[in-house]
Amino acid sequence: MKHKIMGVVDGDDVASYEKTLCIDTQALAKIMNWTEEENYFYDYELNISQITELEDACSIELPRNLLLFLTSSN
């Protein structure tokens, strides 16, 4: 499964930032508090705690001036 962070400017509907994550689904499920496998297939707006945990887990820095969303696909 592939996981991406998409960033949009508040009020826009087009992503201006995209980053594929190097994280396994089980580690991501813990960060996102997923309890069901079906949760993996939805898009989620990320909160600051999730952003910080993803940055630490993936050794990346994410932009703070955008709304960030997690998307997943096969």
Whether the Cβ atoms of residue 1 and residue 74 lie closer than 8 Å to each other: yes
pLDDT at 74: 78
Please tell me the predicted confidence (pLDDT) of residue 70. Answer: 97
Task: Report which of 35, 31, 32, 29 is spatially closest to residue 1, judged by C-alpha positions.
Answer: 29
For the beta carbon of residue 5, count every other beta carbon within 10 angstroms: 23
Structural domain boundaries, residue 13: 2-73
Q: How far apart are CA 3 and CA 21, in angstroms?
A: 6
The CATH number assigned to the domain holding 22 equals: 3.10.50
Q: How many domains does the chain have?
A: 1
User: pTM for the full model?
Assistant: 0.90
Kindly give the interhelix angle for 48-58 and 25-32, rounded to the nearest 10 degrees: 150
Q: How many other CB atoms are there within 10 angstroms of residue 29's CB atom?
A: 16
Provide the residue-wise pLDDT of the chain in tens; the chain has 74 residues.
899 999 999 999 899 999 999 999 999 999 999 999 889 889 999 999 999 999 999 999 999 999 999 998 87
